[in-house]
Amino acid sequence: MGLDPLKILVYSQVALSLLIPLPLIPLIYYSSKREIMGEFTNTKFTTMLAYLFAVIILIFNGYLLYQVFTSGI
């Protein structure tokens, strides 16, 4: 097809990084609910740590989008 495999790989990884928060945030939310998870509920520390990492991922994604749209990378 004449496509550069490295560019395709990079684009697929960017798409995956942008889509990670979609299932991650509901997963954290529902896994912290005792009425859903019962005895397997996340602890408060685990939940806060997971939300912290989700926010960090969102910040990185926001920065990536900012870079793409402002500098034309």
Q: What is the pLDDT of residues 18-38, one digit of tens each?
A: 898 889 999 999 999 999 999
pLDDT number for residue 24: 93
Pick left, alpha or beta for residue 56 (phi over 0 → left; psi -120 to 50 → alpha; otherwise beta): alpha
pLDDT number for residue 72: 62
Average pLDDT over residues 41-69: 92
Locate 13 and state its tokens: 């990884």
Looking at the predicted structure, is the pLDDT value of residue 56 above 70?
yes
Of 35, 61, 30, 60, which is closest to residue 47 (Cα–Cα)? 30
Please spell the DSSP secondary structure of 44-62, one letter per residue.
HHHHHHHHHHHHHHHHHHH
Whole-model pTM: value is 0.76
